[in-house]
């Protein structure tokens, strides 16, 4: 529909320079330039390298997205950008580009939360929003269980990881196993050849007392240590079995807690979002368990789970549609923006 807002979204919070364009809930362009190979040499994201790569790529990515969508800059109704959380130098590149663009075009600017954007990308590939939802948000820096009554204004945190994020655990375990960076896709791949029942790795915060005191929190650092100890102390290691067993432990806990949150709140829709939502075992087991528990499951296609600009444009589009106030022209990046703050005014 012509009346739906045409929104451009810019994402630069970590190592992807990305621009997405949507009209309402229709995706028109999604272009990503990644500096991951430069970071792989160091075994993790190097903030200075990420910022420089964003500066080098942003105009090229913007141009490519405009070409892909076959629109011109002047057609755009609003500009959305990840304002946080993320690496401050990296965020600054996106925020200053977006502010300049919005100012130059005379269009509203929406500084949005990267984590809420991960959840909102779901709207591009599914039918009408089914709020309220429980969202299991699992990325490289965050693992949270959220109750979302309105993605543009009401995000309540039910629990989160008290130590490593799920993606961080994948990355750290892959490193000790010599599987390279980023670790999630590597473990996902190797695990396909292993036996997930080979090693019974610990499931953090799932003892009976934990269900009383921390029902919706996660802890993955014990699991990471258990894998490292197992690798040191076991003479004949089958790497695929270790990868599969580790993956099973993490996926099992994520889903146990996500379904417990649905049960406790009476909410019957679960959205899984963030980079780790691309994990094939998480997607498979979520489908099985949600079907058994009669919970409606929504997981974006794997390509839209990891960082991209479409998710930012998607949240921007919802902000416009629900009449939310835009951000000030002097919008500042907030590297530690809480998950409950959907946008900055």
Cβ proximity to Zn ion, 245 vs 314, nearer residue: 314
Q: What is the largest CA-CA distance in the chain?
A: 65
Q: Least distance in Å: CB of 54 to Zn ion?
A: 15
Residues that bind ligand KG4 (CB under 6 A): 14, 139-141, 167, 170-171, 182-185, 188, 274-276, 278-279, 306-307
Q: Least distance in Å: CB of 315 to Zn ion?
A: 13
Strand ranges inside the chain, DSSP E = 6-11, 16-23, 26-34, 78-84, 109-113, 133-138, 143-150, 154-160, 269-273, 296-298, 343-344
Q: Least distance in Å: CB of 288 to ligand KG4?
A: 17
Q: Least distance in Å: CB of 219 to Zn ion?
A: 21
Q: Least distance in Å: CB of 87 to ligand KG4?
A: 10
Q: Strands across the sheet with 16-23, in order?
A: 26-34, 16-23, 6-11, 78-84, 109-113, 343-344
Cβ proximity to ligand KG4, 182 vs 300, nearer residue: 182
Count of residues touching Zn ion (by CB under 5 A): 2
Cβ proximity to Zn ion, 65 vs 339, nearer residue: 339
Q: 294-313: which residues touch Zn ion (CB under 5 A)?
A: 307
249 half-sphere exposure, CB direction, 13 A CA radius: 27
> Which run of H or E residues covers position 67?
helix 47-69
The distance from CA 229 to its chain's CA centroid, rounded to whole angstroms, is 29
Cα–Cα distance for residue pair 150/343, rounded to 1 Å: 13
Cβ proximity to ligand KG4, 28 vs 254, nearer residue: 254
Parallel, antiparallel, or unpaired: how do β-strands 78-84 and 6-11 relate? parallel
Q: Least distance in Å: CB of 196 to ligand KG4?
A: 14
Cβ proximity to Zn ion, 97 vs 139, nearer residue: 139
Q: Least distance in Å: CB of 307 to Zn ion?
A: 4
235: buried, middle or exposed (CB in 10 Å: 19+, 13-18, 0-12)?
exposed
Q: Least distance in Å: CB of 182 to ligand KG4?
A: 4
The site partner of 129 among ligand KG4, Zn ion, none (C-beta below 5 to 8 Å per kind) is none
Sign of torsion over alpha carbons 8, 12, 14, 17: positive
For residue 60, give the 3-state DSSP assignment.
helix
Structure tokens at 111: 């500084």
Cα–Cα distance for residue pair 124/102, rounded to 1 Å: 23
Q: What are phi and psi of 14, to 5 degrees?
A: -135, -110
The site partner of 278 among ligand KG4, Zn ion, none (C-beta below 5 to 8 Å per kind) is ligand KG4
Cβ proximity to ligand KG4, 111 vs 275, nearer residue: 275
Q: Is 97 in the site for Zn ion (CB under 5 A)?
A: no
**What residues contact 98, with CB distance under 8 A and at least 6 apart?**
10, 79, 80, 81, 109, 111, 331
Instruction: Annotate each residue in 122-141 with x if it binds Zn ion (CB under 5 A) or - if it does not, as one string.
Output: -----------------x--
Cβ proximity to ligand KG4, 66 vs 91, nearer residue: 91
Q: Tell me how long the chain is.
A: 345
Q: 130-189: which residues touch Zn ion (CB under 5 A)?
A: 139
The site partner of 183 among ligand KG4, Zn ion, none (C-beta below 5 to 8 Å per kind) is ligand KG4
Residues near Zn ion (CB under 5 A) are 139, 307
């Amino acid at each position: 529909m012509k009346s739906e807002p045409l929104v451009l979204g810019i994402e630069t919070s970590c190592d992807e320079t990305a621009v997405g364009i949507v009209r309402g809930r229709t995706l028109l362009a999604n272009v990503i330039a990644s500096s991951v190979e430069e970071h792989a040499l160091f075994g993790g994201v190097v903030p200075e390298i990420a910022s420089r790569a964003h500066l080098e790529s942003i105009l090229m990515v913007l141009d490519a997205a405009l070409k892909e969508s076959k629109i011109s800059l002047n057609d755009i109704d609003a500009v959305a950008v990840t304002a946080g959380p993320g690496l401050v130098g990296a965020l600054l590149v996106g925020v200053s580009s977006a502010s300049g663009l919005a100012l130059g075009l005379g269009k509203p600017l929406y500084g949005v939360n990267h984590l809420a954007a991960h959840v909102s990308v779901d709207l591009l590939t599914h039918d009408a929003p089914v709020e309220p939802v429980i969202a299991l948000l699992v990325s490289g820096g965050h693992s949270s269980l959220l109750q979302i009554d309105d993605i543009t204004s009401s995000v309540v945190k039910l629990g989160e990881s008290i130590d490593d994020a799920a993606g961080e655990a994948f990355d750290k375990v892959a490193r000790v196993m010599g599987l390279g960076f980023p670790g999630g896709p590597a473990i996902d791949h190797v695990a396909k050849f292993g036996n997930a029942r080979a090693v019974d790795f610990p499931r953090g915060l799932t003892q009976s007392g934990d269900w009383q005191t921390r029902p919706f929190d996660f802890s993955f650092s014990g699991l990471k240590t258990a894998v490292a100890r197992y690798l040191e102390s076991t003479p004949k290691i089958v790497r695929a079995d270790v990868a599969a067993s580790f993956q099973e432990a993490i996926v099992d806990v994520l889903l146990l807690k996500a379904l417990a949150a649905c049960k406790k709140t009476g909410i019957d829709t679960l959205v899984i979002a963030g980079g780790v939502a691309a994990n094939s075992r998480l997607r498979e087991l979520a489908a099985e368990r949600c079907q058994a528990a009669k919970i409606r499951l929504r997981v974006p296609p794997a390509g839209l789970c990891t960082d991209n600009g479409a998710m930012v444009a998607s949240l921007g589009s919802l902000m416009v549609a629900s009449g939310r106030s835009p951000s000030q022209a002097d919008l500042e990046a907030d590297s530690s923006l809480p998950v409950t703050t959907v946008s900055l005014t």
